[in-house]
Amino acid sequence: MTMPANIVIIINNLGIGGAERLVVGDVNEMLKIGINVRLITLKPESKSSFIGSLNLEKEKFHCVPFPNLFDIKSWLKLVQIIKSTEPDLVVTHLWFANTIGRIAARIAGVKSIISFEQNVYDDIKTKKMFFVDWCLQFLSMKIIAVSNAVKKSLIKHGIKESRIDVLYNSIDLKVFETTDKIGEIRKEFNIPEDSFLYIFVGRLIHQKAVDILLDSFIATDSDAYLLIVGKGPDREELELKVSSSGLKEKIIFTGVRNDTSSLLLSADCFILPSRYEGLPLVLIEALAAGLPIIVSDFEASKEVIIHEKNGLIVPREDVKALALGMTRIKEDGELRARLALEAKITATRFSISNHVRDILRYIKSSHI
């Protein structure tokens, strides 16, 4: 009889974000197929969290708060938990957890460690953070880049190419089979059922280019609506822009939500105008929702979207081009239907079951 694998996943916490959604999906899928999985977080949960979507038993979910990188008591507790689990594989996500998690795993005697890199961090990480990544790369069996664009960035910052594998973000496709809340979402935000609805989901930061999206929406001069889902330091500035546009009733800021699937299924077009990206999970979710998609031409977008086949690709920071794309999607029903169909087909490449299967390949144990 074969023994189930033991896997430990370490992440900062389950706050609203793509890496966090991926972890919840991986954990739930692992449980479904009989994997012994433990989840360790290193920071307390925020008010907005995906913890409610986690199917893990309480005794297998550990929070070991690290107020900083040098908290000795937290280090000792984390190492003890990892050691007692005797994991066949430790998986870490995001810089803080990648740093602490792989050191602790090595101290606990674990040799099979993989560490996920979710973004193109060229303008995000500090020089010190890149130096830590360079030093610690040798503790990981593999560094997992979520796109070739992320892989290219890692190599640029000194990570050996031989240590990098590309594993695309994935989702539970079944979540997007339920459409019973579409009417509720539109009613919540006073959006008429017959009105065209664009949607953006992501952090409100410079990277995401929501400022470009707003300018483009204003330029379309249509009777459509726009949902901006997420939070971030740019929200106040973006809301001021909306106030001065006279379209305050048409552009709705929802704040952070944990019902992304229902929001996407309620919309008619998804827009991601980012200046750069790794491979955002929400793009995969928009495909699964069967939405016509418009993305900017950041490098990773071309790994998923084929222009005019399963979405439209427009130049970054080009207000006019994005506005034209938005108008095309709204006015051309045949185009919408074709893009939506191809989006659903493309989404099948990004099933969470495939993602977990690929993770299990890193277990070098004879009993799996």
Which pLDDT tens digit goes with each residue over 284-320? Answer: 999 999 999 999 999 999 999 999 999 999 999 999 9
Q: Please name the residue that has the structure tokens 């496709």.
A: 173
88 pLDDT band (50/70/90 cuts)?
very high
Please determine, for residue 181, whether its predicted confidence score (pLDDT) is greater than 80.
Answer: no
* Amino acid (1-letter code) at residue 147: S
Residue 1 pLDDT level (bands cut at 50, 70, 90): very low
Average pLDDT over residues 30-52: 92
Place of tokens 């040098």: 70
Alpha-carbon span 4 to 88, nearest angstrom: 10
State residue 60's pLDDT score.
Answer: 96
Domain 6-170+351-360 in this protein, CATH class = alpha beta
Instruction: Give residues with Cβ within 8 angstroms of 356, minimum separation 6.
Output: 26, 29, 30, 33, 35
Q: What φ, ψ does residue 165 adopt, rounded to 5°?
A: -115, 150
Predicted TM-score (pTM) of the model is 0.90
Residue 252, pLDDT > 50, answer yes
What is the spatial distance between Cα 323 and Cα 210, in angstroms, rounded to a whole number?
Answer: 13
Q: Is the pLDDT of residue 180 over 80?
A: no
Residue 22: pLDDT band with limits 50, 70, 90: very high
For residue 366, pLDDT over 50 is answered with no
CATH topology of domain 173-349: Rossmann fold (3.40.50)
Q: List Cβ neighbours of 186 (8 Å cut-off, separation of 6 or more).
A: 192, 193, 197, 266
Chain-centroid distance of CA 214 in Å reads: 22
Q: Report the amino acid identity of residue 131.
A: F
Please compute the mean of the pLDDT values over residues 28-43 and round it to a whole number.
96
Tokens of 295: 């993305």
Strand duo 293-296 + 164-166: pairing: unpaired
Residue 342, pLDDT score: 97
How far apart are alpha carbons 368 and 366 in whole angstroms? 6
CATH 3.40.50.2000 range(s) for the chain read 6-170+351-360, 173-349
